[in-house]
Structure 1
């Protein structure tokens, strides 16, 4: 096998030999590559380099009973001294078996002092020497896994009724509760009432829908993904009738009021509508409430039927007249 000196000498002669320009450039490039390679390997043979490397670690805990709510550290930064070859291999992660850090009670503390790991680092790096551990501690957040029961309610803003309809039954949610599992501190901080977004618009018939529960917070699990929502609606009818004004406490029958008939408007559920319902509405003009200055009397609308709603009069007052 030829020595390096023989190879270099041959390259020199090739370079001095008349040739095309591009061939000379190739020779120069080869010389540079060989020189750099020799320098590189020579440098790696030195034994007093100082460098920084990251040593791999693995934090182990009972992941069925606990949840890590942040990314766990997987490296320890070190300043080390060693030979070039040793430092190069470790910089690429070779010859470094991860240190296993077992936590029996992971929520008791949120950090580990790196000084306690020095004894485990040294054997894995030999013959490289650890000068300093560049971080004082490794921090993490590991919490107990806890389960809590949450009540469900329909978000009223998530449904809209057709203007002529209204809800006439209790809103049923099945199941009424769900169980969320997650980090203890996070799950205890949440409100125990969870609003379900139905996302239903222009409702004009009874509702019986399967609705997804809200998106789970990070690190949470649920025992169910959807619930059944149901309720009944009814159409509201607009009714308009003309009713006679009833006179009370007037001195005698020669009195009258003008007008004597007033148009009345109200709303009622379609299922409860009956023409006879209007008999339950009285329009009363009380002589004792007459205004002496202009003989005006405010009309009282009286009804004993609770399902008559939004009762409105076309005229709010009448004038008393003595027809003598």
Structure 2
């Protein structure tokens, strides 16, 4: 069998023999590859190299009771000393079974001291020697997994009615609660009421819609994604009328107002409108509240039907005078 020196010598001779240009290039490349290979293997045979490797770790805990809120560390950096071959195999991850770090109550602390791992690392790395563990601690954020029931409510700003319509019934949400499960701190900091965005516009009829529940925060899970929202609406009618002004506490009939009727405008649901009913609103002038500087009285509403909405009284005040 020929030695490496013989092979290189033959390659040199072939380089000087007449040949095509591309063949000479091939010879040069082969020489470089062989030289590099010899250097590489020679270097690996040396001892006492200092290097840094990342040893694999696995953090274990009861995932049915706890939840990690950020990615768990999977490696710990170590400075080591050893032979070239040993360090190369460790650098590529060979012969390095992960160290398992079991956490019984991971929510009571957020770190593990790396010094506690040295006893497990030493026999696994032999014959490589550990110089330093380059990180003091392994940090994590693992919280207890908790569940809480939240009340669901409809955000009123997400509903836009036609100008002539009003909601005439309670807003029904079925189901009206949702259970969210997630990290204890996250769940604890959430408001107890979750508002739904219906995104309903120009409503002029009764509503029954499926509305999505807002997206839960990161790491929070729920089995409920949407609920049924329903309510009734009614058309509102614009009503104008003239009503007599009711006089209160006037001393005698010699004191009279300058007008006897007031004009009123209001809205009322068509389901409660009665064209012959003229007593839905009572307008009052109280003599005891007269302004003596100008004998004026502010008109007040003495009675209003509960179905009357957006009531306006004109004029806002009257004057009184005495007939001698």
After TM superposition, the score normalised by the length of structure 1 is: 0.87
Say if 2:222 is the partner of 1:222. yes
Q: 1:161 — aligned with what?
A: 161
Whole-Å separation in 1 of the counterparts to 2:40 and 2:122: 27
- Over aligned residue pairs, what C-alpha RMSD do you find? 2.8
Q: For this pair of structures, how many residues does the alignment match?
A: 323
**Correspondences of 1:224-263 after superposition (within 5 Å):** 224-243=224-243, 249=250, 257=258, 263=263
Corresponding residue of 1:116: 116
1:239-271 deviations in whole A, cap 9, x for unaligned? 12344566785965997846x665432111111
Indicate how the Cα distance of structure 1 residues 274 and 104 shifts in structure 2: closer, same or farther if over 3 A, else same.
same
- What corresponds to 1:307 in structure 2? 307
Unaligned stretches of 5+ residues in structure 1? none
Contact 1:254-1:323 at 8 Å conserved across structures = yes
The structure-2 alpha-carbon separation of the partners of 1:243 and 1:12, relative to structure 1 and needing over 3 Å to count, comes to same
Comparing 195-204 with 17-26, greater Cα deviation is found at: 17-26
- Cα deviation for residue 318 of structure 1 reads 5.7
Post-superposition Cα deviations, 1:143-185, rounded to whole Å, max 9, x if no partner, equal 1211222222222222222222222222222222222111222
**Residue 102 in structure 1 maps to residue 131 in structure 2:** no
In structure 1, what is the Cα distance between the partners aligned to 2:276 and 2:179? Answer: 52
Pair 196,17 (structure 1): closer, same or farther in 2 beyond 3 Å: same
The separation in 2 between residues aligned to 1:295 and 1:141, in whole angstroms, is 76
TM-score, normalisation: structure 2 = 0.87
Counterpart position of 2:72? 72
Moved more, 70-79 or 295-304: 295-304
Displacement of 1:305 in angstroms is 1.6
Corresponding residue for 1:90?
90
The whole-number CA distance in structure 1 between the counterparts of 2:256 and 2:151 is 64
Separation (CA, whole Å) in 1 of partners of 2:82 and 2:288: 111
Judged with a 3 Å threshold, the aligned counterparts in structure 2 of structure 1 residues 91 and 238 are, in CA distance, closer, same or farther, namely same
Can you give the 5+ residue segments of structure 2 that lack an aligned partner in the other structure?
A: none
Find the aligned partners of 1:54 and 1:124 in 2 and give their Cα distance.
Answer: 13
Q: 1:277 to 1:63 in 2, by over 3 A?
A: same
Q: After the TM superposition, which of the residue ranges 93-102 and 305-314 deviates more from structure 2?
A: 305-314
Q: Is the 8 A contact 1:257 1:319 kept in 2?
A: yes
Deviations 1:87-123 (A, max 9, x none): 1111111111111111222222211111111111122
SS in 1 for 2:205: coil
SS at match of 1:97: coil
Match of 1:9 in 2: 9
Structure-2 residue corresponding to 1:183: 183
Question: In the superposition, relative to structure 1, how do residues 185 and 262 fare at CA in structure 2: closer, same or farther (>3 Å)?
Answer: closer
Whether the aligned pair in 1 keeps the contact of 2:53 and 2:80 (CA below 8 Å) is yes
Question: In terms of mean alpha carbon deviation, does 122-131 or 133-142 score higher?
Answer: 122-131
1:19-58 alignment runs, 5 A limit? 19-58=19-58
Tell me if the contact between 2:164 and 2:237 (Cα under 8 Å) persists in the aligned partners: yes
